[in-house]
Amino acid sequence: MGTNSSPDESTPALPAAVRAAALFDWYGELLTPRQKEVFRLYYEEDMSLGEIGRELGISRQAVYDLLHRCIVELERYEQAIGMVRRTELYQHWRQHLASSLETSGRSSIDGPEAESFFDELFRPGPWLERSEDGPSGRGSSG
């Protein structure tokens, strides 16, 4: 098959805001209503910490602390469940398959060739291990 690319080698890490959105998509319903509201205002409505604080009647620091707790909670769920990582791996495998088919000039594979391809594609390796990156967020300013 020829290519030994992995998600860690061929796909850049998700930007913090994109990762936060992916985490929220999978685990957002597990947050408190207040955490969901602050998350939505910051990441979806693109409001600043100060704007959110004024709207909710809390300090900018309280907004920051809430957002930080949201990200920590979402990352904790990800460490336990791993749906964002699985989604990233699926997307990588899908791109790898499409690229391999395009390179071979074929639209599909079957039989022993398919078995060989999937053996290589899903071969265990260190790139399957969970990332130990810590919580991410947009930063302390906003």
- For residue 120, being part of any structural domain is answered with yes
118, 25, 82, 1 alpha-carbon torsion, rounded to 10°:
20
Closest CA to 122 of 85, 83, 94, 102: 94
Question: Given this model, what pLDDT does residue 88 score?
Answer: 84
CATH code, domain with 74: 1.10.10.10
Q: Residue 138 contacts by C-beta under 8 Å, 6 or more apart in sequence? A: 16, 17, 20, 42, 43, 67
Is residue 55 domain-shared with residue 37, that is, in the same domain? Answer: yes
Stated pTM of the model: 0.63
CB 35 within 8 A of CB 71: no
Same-domain pairing of 44 and 63: yes
Residues 20, 71, single domain; the answer is yes
Residue 20 and residue 61 in one domain: yes
Q: How far apart are CA 17 and CA 23, in angstroms?
A: 10
Q: What is the pLDDT of residues 80-110, one digit of tens each?
A: 998 998 888 888 888 877 787 777 777 666 6
Number of domains in the chain: 2
Same domain, 17 and 63: yes
pLDDT for 98 equals 78
How high is the mean pLDDT in each 10-residue block of the chain (142 residues)? 40 80 96 97 96 97 97 96 87 80 72 69 55 41 40
Q: Quick one: which of 97, 115, 101, 23 has its CA closest to 67?
A: 23
Both tokens of 31, joined, read 């947050």
**HEC profile for 44-81?**
HCCCCHHHHHHHHCCCHHHHHHHHHHHHHHHHHHHHHH
Instruction: Give dist(CA 99, CA 104) in Å, integer.
Output: 9
Residues 50 and 89 in one domain: no
Is residue 44 a part of any domain in this protein? yes
Which residue range(s) make up the domain with 49?
Answer: 11-81
